[in-house]
Structure 1
Amino acid sequence: MIKKILLTFALILAFQAHANDEVYELRVYKLQFGKSAQVLHDYFQKALLPALNRQGITNIGAFEESSDNMPKKLYLLISYKDMQAYSETLKALKKDKTYIADAKAYSGTSQEDFPIDRYESSLFLSVSGFPKLVKPKSGSRLFELRTYEGYSEDAVRRKIKMFNDSEFTIFDEIGLYTVFFGEKIAGQDMPSLAYLLAFEDMEERDANWKKFGPHPEWQRIVKLEEYANTVSSIDRVYLKPLPYSQL
């Protein structure tokens, strides 16, 4: 109970301090082995995404992992203009009769046939150096989702400053095309930040990342004491867009 109260209080503080920041919800759906995921794809394509679009929420990313890792996972990236829009969207879905009707097959799927057990949802706030989601260029078929954990909140704060002051500029110069960047405010493995990069293919990805390490600005800032020990763990997942993805 105390943990829930503290989490609620933290979210309230985040809402007040970052009321005008863009908010990103990243959902990860773990598929159950041996069960068809078609009802879930139909729900995304025919019910959830259209309902969110009707509320003015566009450029919704829908992905699957490009690897053959098990269990298979589907990802949704939903961007809201601010915390209030996120809250209002959840309420609006419960009253949207078209959405409820379109989601009937999904909602009526039996427990035995349901394709997932649970899904994880994380919330992120945009940062000053990359305040808005950017739709990737046409032909982007490979997405790289990177999560940086820090040993403390201050470590993550310093890493975000590193991005704001220098790394976003480096990314622009060498072709690391960022879709979104956010500091996690709710979810597992906090404190952390995450961002999504878009490429045509793995060849473009590898070629452009090779330019990062030798870049003069990176060589300068990586030696600064201010940015020492900012990242304690990096997680990387390669994604490919589903046919109905809006990114």
Structure 2
Amino acid sequence: MFKQFLTTMLLFAAVLTASAQDTRLFETRIYYTEPGRLEALLTRFRNHTTKIFEKHGMTNIGYWVPLHEENKLIYVLAYPDRAARDASWKAFGADPEWVKARTESEVSGKIVSKVESIFMDATDFSPKIKSSKSKKERVFELRTYTTNPGKLPDLLARFRNHTLKLFKKHGMTNVAYWTVNGKDDTLIYILAHPSEEAGKKAFDAFRADPDWVKARDASEVNGKLANKVESVYMKATDFSTIK
């Protein structure tokens, strides 16, 4: 009887976990502007683009500019699925309101020189993504991990069981975690810190934490998990839904 009850509860917990996972398609878009044209791009997004995105069923997740790079905007959108994404962008591109805004904003010249796009899925341990505006100014850190072959599941397990809790312990705010469509070696996530200095100090403390050292060593008995880690410190734009 107890065994049957335990099995039922485990199945119920699995259903709850599955239902809690965000199943939307996410897209990170990186815009590189012509020299000196970032402000023109931000103005267009602030006054027009974000509203037209929402009009066509796209959800604005967040908008950021790197602290140490010029002429660059990084933002994330969410859609129900890939078909909805493609339909939304098609409608957006043909929208007279968008065409007018784009044309008027480029009277003085082209704004965007290059666009990069990354399609992503939320991990099962990613926090629920919602609009958030901190009362205190903070910075965000976009981190991209590339794993050794076959090691992504082990990396995800380590984050799920240990890393997120230890980040929180050291004052870092977990914002979102994604894997990349079509790639079995990439984890992308965003943290928030009071400042860049605070973020770097928090990571120093994290790396020296005996609980982290134990978790890392246990997960890498059969080899190192990540072979490349990239970090970009960013500040939220004034129109970002996450600040």
Does the pair score TM above 0.5?
Answer: yes
Task: Summarize deviations over 1:130-182 as a string: whole Å, max 9, x none.
Answer: 16324455134311111111232x22222112111221222222222122111
Q: Normalising by structure 1, report the TM-score.
A: 0.75
Question: What is the DSSP-based 3-state SS (H/G/I as helix, E as strand, rest coil) of the residue aligned with 1:233?
Answer: strand
In the other structure, the counterpart of 1:222 is 216
In the other structure, the counterpart of 1:44 is 45
Query: Which entry has the higher C-alpha Rg, 1 or 2?
Result: 2
CA distance in 2, matches of 1:80, 1:172: 28
CA distance in 1, matches of 2:48, 2:147: 37
In the other structure, the counterpart of 2:34 is 32
Q: Relative to 1, partners in 2 of residues 1:171 and 1:201: Cα closer, same or farther, differing over 3 Å?
A: same
CA contact under 8 A between 2:127 and 2:174: conserved in structure 1? no
CA distance in 1, matches of 2:71, 2:93: 28
Q: Relative to 1, partners in 2 of residues 1:141 and 1:28: Cα closer, same or farther, differing over 3 Å?
A: same
CA contact under 8 A between 1:149 and 1:193: conserved in structure 2? yes
Question: What is the DSSP-based 3-state SS (H/G/I as helix, E as strand, rest coil) of the residue aligned with 1:129?
Answer: coil
Q: Relative to 1, partners in 2 of residues 1:59 and 1:93: Cα closer, same or farther, differing over 3 Å?
A: closer
CA contact under 8 A between 1:162 and 1:227: conserved in structure 2? no
Task: Summarize deviations over 1:164-209 as a string: whole Å, max 9, x none.
Answer: 122122222222212211111269xx73111111122124323432
Task: Summarize deviations over 1:55-107 as a string: whole Å, max 9, x none.
Answer: 5544532221111x4x532211223344454334323424544444433424x
In the other structure, the counterpart of 2:104 is 105
Segment drifting more, 229-238 vs 195-204: 195-204
CA distance in 2, matches of 1:215, 1:165: 15
**Does residue 195 of structure 1 match 2:189?**
yes
CA distance in 2, matches of 1:73, 1:135: 22
- Structure 2 stretches of 5 or more lacking a match? 1-20
Q: Relative to 1, partners in 2 of residues 1:126 and 1:244: Cα closer, same or farther, differing over 3 Å?
A: same
CA contact under 8 A between 1:134 and 1:178: conserved in structure 2? no
In the other structure, the counterpart of 2:148 is 151
CA distance in 2, matches of 1:221, 1:142: 27
**Does residue 183 of structure 1 match 2:179?**
yes
CA contact under 8 A between 2:57 and 2:88: conserved in structure 1? no
CA contact under 8 A between 1:29 and 1:74: conserved in structure 2? yes
CA distance in 2, matches of 1:89, 1:102: 18
For residue 149 of structure 1, what is the amino acid of its counterpart? T
In the other structure, the counterpart of 1:13 is none
Q: Normalising by structure 2, report the TM-score.
A: 0.76
